């Protein structure tokens, strides 16, 4: 599957990776390749004719309504001297469809099927019967907007975040935590059985958290401009439009308070938010890293150029630490590259130390502005103890 050509401001859709043939090196290999190609063509034609038969049967059941689900077209191929079939999708843009959701995509969208044709519906859950409106149709799938839920899932939950689902940071707040754990396990089961072809592998239940909120040790907020004012937040799903965010329920409140201080100081120092289209603006991202084992925090200011923030980088860093004593390091990271890469290669210490230190399971970890570190320290301990 491919999302190419679909223009949406919602969460990104699932894509199917297609591997490249490494090539055949022997004459026998060429024969095998030809035979397999023939077999694959026969299989595809069988599927096509099966779909046409289903469509005709469905059309008859509609008692002359005239709504054609699949349309077969015979096209003369003069070069190969054979007849080909092109089959249109069973849904059209703007069509209202009733679906039963039988799966979740890797991005948390509900997946239903009509005549075997996949329809992705953000906000729908497994087991639900829904009404949706088709907004995009491609060769192998369609996307639709959820209109209403006829039969809700018992795992459906009321999202606690006021920005959900416009904020693209979370995809399954409408699913209970227990339901999220079950969905994660099912993804592993599907990968092992459908992709791996293994039927005798036991997949244990996912070990969850006692309290799945306020756990992350890193905040990473893009910076933009709204109504001529610098803002920080999360990206709207499927876009790079910044949704102004004052709080986030999976982040430490103290870290969000540091972000608010950086936002206030950036406005005071006259810093501008970065614009991807024009590549103008000084401040691109703000990161806060926190070490749960020691209580130390680091602030990273990602800038579009090496100039000191407001010409007073050291003062900027000192003012942050003055309001938040846990901050031991303020780093300027320089990123002038195009695209969505967050961090650049160059770091400049504006105030304090170059790194902070965390302690976990008797070990000390030195964390820099660009180092990778597990964002869930509670589950990191659980993982290593289990392993």
Yes or no: say if 340 and 240 are a contact pair by the CB < 8 Å rule: yes
- Residues 310 and 363 both lie in one domain: yes
Domain boundary among 42, 59, 87: 87
Tallying the residues shown for the chain, one arrives at 387
DSSP 130: E
- Residues 248 and 297 both lie in one domain: yes
- On whether residue 152 sits in a domain, the answer given is yes
Average model confidence (pLDDT) across the chain: 83
pLDDT (0 to 100) of residue 338? 92
**Which H helix or E strand runs over 141?**
strand 141-151
* pLDDT (tens digit per residue) in 338-378: 988 999 999 999 999 999 999 999 999 999 999 999 999 99
Q: Determine the Cα–Cα distance for residues 343 and 366; give it in Å rounded to an integer.
A: 18
* pLDDT (tens digit per residue) in 42-56: 344 333 333 433 343
- On whether residue 62 sits in a domain, the answer given is yes
Structural domain range at position 152? 96-159
Residue with tokens 């709080």: 247
Mean pLDDT is lowest, of 19-23, 34-38, 116-120, 282-286, for 19-23
Where helices occur in the chain by DSSP H, the ranges are 27-61, 177-190, 253-268, 313-323, 377-386
- Residues 240 and 374 both lie in one domain: yes
The β-bridge relationship of strands 327-334 and 297-303 is parallel
Contacts of residue 205, defined as CB under 8 A and 6 or more positions apart, other chains included, come to 181, 182, 185
- On whether residue 198 sits in a domain, the answer given is no
What average pLDDT does the segment 228-241 reach? Answer: 94
């Amino acid at each position: 599957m491919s999302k190419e050509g679909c223009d949406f401001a919602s969460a990104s859709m699932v894509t199917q990776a297609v591997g490249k043939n490494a090539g055949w090196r022997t004459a026998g290999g060429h024969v095998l390749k030809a035979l397999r190609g023939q077999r694959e063509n026969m299989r595809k034609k069988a599927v096509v004719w099966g779909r046409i038969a289903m469509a005709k049967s469905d059309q008859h059941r509609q008692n002359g309504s005239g709504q054609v689900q699949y349309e077969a077209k015979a096209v003369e191929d003069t070069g190969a001297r054979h007849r080909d079939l092109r089959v249109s999708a069973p849904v059209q843009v703007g069509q209202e469809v009733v679906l039963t959701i039988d799966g979740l995509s890797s991005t948390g969208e509900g997946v239903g099927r009509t005549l075997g044709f996949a329809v992705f519906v953000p906000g729908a859950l497994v087991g639900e019967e829904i009404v949706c409106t088709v907004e995009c149709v491609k060769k192998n799938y369609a996307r639709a907007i959820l209109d209403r839920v006829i039969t809700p899932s018992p795992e459906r939950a009321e999202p606690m975040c006021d920005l959900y689902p416009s904020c693209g940071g979370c995809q399954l707040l409408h699913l209970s935590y227990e339901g999220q754990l079950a969905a994660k396990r099912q993804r592993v089961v599907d990968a092992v059985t459908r992709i791996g072809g293994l039927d005798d592998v036991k997949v244990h239940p996912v070990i969850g958290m006692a309290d799945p909120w306020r756990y992350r040790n890193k905040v990473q907020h893009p910076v933009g401009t709204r109504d001529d004012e610098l803002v920080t937040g999360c990206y709207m799903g499927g876009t790079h439009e910044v949704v102004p965010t004052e709080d986030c329920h999976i982040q430490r409140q103290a870290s969000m308070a540091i972000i608010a201080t950086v936002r206030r100081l950036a406005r005071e120092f006259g810093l501008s938010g970065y614009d991807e289209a024009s590549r103008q603006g000084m401040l691109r991202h703000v990161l806060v890293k926190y070490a749960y084992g020691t209580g130390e925090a680091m602030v990273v200011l990602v800038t579009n150029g090496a100039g000191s923030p407001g010409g007073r980088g050291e003062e900027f860093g000192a003012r942050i630490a003055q309001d938040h004593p846990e901050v031991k390091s303020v780093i300027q990271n320089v990123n002038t590259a195009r695209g969505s890469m967050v961090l650049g290669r160059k770091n400049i210490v504006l105030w304090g130390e170059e790194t902070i230190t965390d302690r976990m399971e008797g070990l000390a970890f030195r964390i820099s502005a660009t180092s990778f570190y597990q964002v869930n320290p509670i589950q990191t301990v659980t993982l290593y103890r289990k392993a």
